[in-house]
Amino acid sequence: MNTTTQLSDSALVSLYIAGNENAFEQLVNRHKNKVFTTILLIVKDSYTAEDLLQDTFIKAVHTMKSGRYNEEGKFSSWICRIAHNLAIDFFRKEKRSPIITLEDGNNVFNTLSFAEDSVESLQIKEDTHARLRELIQALPQTQREVLMMRHYADMSFQEIAEATGVSINTALGRMRYALINLRKKMQKSNIVYDKNLYSE
Amino acid sequence: MIKTSTQNELIQYVYDELAEDVCEQLEKSLMQDDELAECCSELLLIQHLLDGVVKAPTDRSVNNIINYSRSLSLQS
């Protein structure tokens, strides 16, 4: 039985720094999906995202093993900030906008699980994901940044405000506009977002 | 028309960041204000949709990370 599965992130970090590799494995498995998604939504390429995911955790490994990890704040926010910064650095260097493609050839947004996989629901899913991808990418940079930091990087609005150098009300306002913009554009595009279409 | 401050509280509410006392007040308002309740419902629906786009990396990448960390431990 793995005794680390119920521990907090903070406890796992302490164990890892003390030399427990199982604790690190637990941290990776706990946060890999959100870190990966955070990167993927910025770089828009699954192969690059896989590389940057590894770079992110390797950077975290070095920070923790060298004793430079600051225990203030959440591990999830910290690791997602590293990922976000690496992805933004990459994006700025590359200045490119490739199609989001996964190893299996599917688009990144073709991954929602639907309650029924009928031909009709699959078609709706494909259309919805393709359009949603465009809508998120079309958001103003400041709105997209807050959306990703809050929704995928699990940072609090206060943390986002500090990280982006704005007030918490500005961060909240940007998030509000991001969600409102998505909602309006989804309605305008007749995008179905009935929650009954999606399995829990 | 929902006040900007209330809309901001709604965002904090759906992301579970609202202080307890403000949260109670907002929940009372949600019971009485249909427009506010509808706005909250739409936010939760979009939140649900955004949740679905979370994607997992390949096992290969994850194993590379774990093995890298273990290799450093063996060296030290």
User: What CATH number is attached to the domain comprising A86?
Assistant: 1.10.1740.10
Q: How confident is the model at residue B64 (pLDDT cuts 50, 70, 90)?
A: very high
A65 interaction partners in chain B (CB closer than 8 Å): 72
Residue B17 main-chain phi, psi, to 5 deg = -120, 5
CB contact under 8 A, A179 and B54: no
Cα–Cα dist A97/A37, whole Å: 16
| End residue of a domain, out of A77, A102, A127 | A102
Same domain, A20 and A96: yes
Residue A31 and residue A79 in contact, taking contact as beta carbons nearer than 8 Å: yes
CB contact under 8 A, B12 and A49: no
Q: What percent of chain B has pLDDT over 90?
A: 46
| End residue of a domain, out of A68, A84, A102 | A102
Nearest to A198 among B52, B66, B73 (CB): B52
> Which ranges in A46-189 belong to alpha helices (H)?
46-65, 75-94, 119-138, 141-147, 157-164, 168-188
Q: A39 is in which domain, residue-wise? A: 1-102
How many whole angstroms from its chain centre is CA B66? 28
Place of tokens 């976000």: A84
A157 interaction partners in chain B (CB closer than 8 Å): 11-12, 15, 17
Question: How many contacts, defined by CB atoms under 8 Å, are there between A and B?
Answer: 102
| End residue of a domain, out of A55, A74, A102 | A102
DSSP one-letter string for A22-86: HHHHHHHHHHHHHHHHHHHHHH--HHHHHHHHHHHHHHHHHHHHTT----SS-HHHHHHHHHHHH
Containing A116, the helix (H) or strand (E) segment is none
CB contact under 8 A, B53 and A157: no
Residue A11 and residue B35 in contact, taking contact as beta carbons nearer than 8 Å: no
Nearest to A175 among B11, B42, B72 (CB): B11
Confirm or reject contact between B1 and chain A (CB < 8 A). no
Average pLDDT over residues B1-14: 88
Q: Which pLDDT score is estimated for A101?
A: 46
Q: Which pLDDT score is estimated for A51?
A: 96
Cα–Cα dist A177/A160, whole Å: 15
pLDDT along chain A (200 residues), means of 10: 76 93 95 89 87 96 90 82 88 59 46 55 67 80 90 87 93 93 80 50
Average pLDDT over residues B13-36: 91
Average pLDDT over residues B24-44: 90
In a 13 Å sphere around the CA of A70, the CA atoms on its Cβ side amount to 5
